[in-house]
Amino acid sequence: NAGVTQTPKFRILKIGQSMTLQCTQDMNHNYMYWYRQDPGMGLKLIYYSVGAGITDKGEVPNGYNVSRSTTEDFPLRLELAAPSQTSVYFCASSTSGRGNNEQFFGPGTRLTVL
């Protein structure tokens, strides 16, 4: 049981390039989330999904896109990378949408846009 896995661990992009951050969970969780963590700040929610085929925006969705074709996978797409997207990205999952449920986090992807 690997939990939540993310790839790649690190990436450097040039301005205007695109990339996909991968996230997979093997816990059969319906709910999945993407957060970004900027230095000295808490995590901000980018997008989330309540199940396969259903996604919704969080606090900071601009410049990102997501899809959820399977329960296990929740990739995050950056279409035109900008320096403001330099951050650490965390994927998380939980069993349900009830507020008392623990979220399980992946190890993160550190992205630098130059």
Partner 1 sequence: GNSVTQMEGPVTLSEEAFLTINCTYTATGYPSLFWYVQYPGEGLQLLLKATKADDKGSNKGFEATYRKETTSFHLEKGSVQVSDSAVYFCALSENYGNNRLAFGKGNQVVVIP
| Binding of partner 1 by 52 (CB under 8 A) | no
Of 16-24, 62-70, 76-84, 96-104, the segment contacting partner 1 by CB under 8 A is: 96-104
Q: DSSP secondary structure string, 43-97? A: EEEEEEEEETTEEEE-S--TTEEE--SSSSB--EEESS--GGG-EEEEEEEES-S
Of 15-23, 35-43, 61-69, 73-81, the segment contacting partner 1 by CB under 8 A is: 35-43
Q: Which long-range contacts (CB under 8 A, 24 or more apart) does 57-61 make?
A: 58/33, 58/34, 60/36
Q: Give the 3-state secondary structure of residue 107.
A: coil
| Binding of partner 1 by 28 (CB under 8 A) | no
User: Toward partner 1, which CB reaches closer, 28 or 40?
Assistant: 40
| Binding of partner 1 by 58 (CB under 8 A) | yes
User: Toward partner 1, which CB reaches closer, 16 or 57?
Assistant: 57
